[in-house]
Structure 1
Amino acid sequence: MVLGRLRRWWLALPMLVVALSINEEIYSREMVQRVLTPLGPVRSAIGVGFLFGVGHLQN
């Protein structure tokens, strides 16, 4: 019985990983991109890339 529950948990893990990745992309890139848009497309893209990199320095 416990083994069956464990198997179902492992099936949900890939969906959780995908959902967290999409959430990170929305919040870290899209929202920052909108804030930096007045700087122009090139500067805002560089700013988003820089902030995304700084946010992942710990990894």
Structure 2
Amino acid sequence: MRDDTQPLKPLGRCPAHASNSVPLHRAQSLTQEGSTAHIDLDGQIYTLRITRAGKLILTK
């Protein structure tokens, strides 16, 4: 697991939700062009996976 405390910069705002100012992130950026990323939420580690079919799976 990569221990990188540098926050990712959003690509911008999601056009579909522009009025809500929702940040937009590329899944490939989160996985650093790989297929898996670990996400920390309040000390809980989640795994984000991009499948071969191009779907996202988030597991605890």
Which of structures 1 and 2 has the larger relative contact order (alpha carbons within 8 angstroms, sep 6+)? 1
Tell whether the structures are fold-level matches, with TM greater than 0.5.
Answer: no
Instruction: Looking at secondary structure, tell me which structure has more helix per residue.
Output: 1
TM tier relative to shorter chain: under 0.3
Structure with higher Rg: it is 1
Provide TM-score, normalisation by structure 1: 0.23
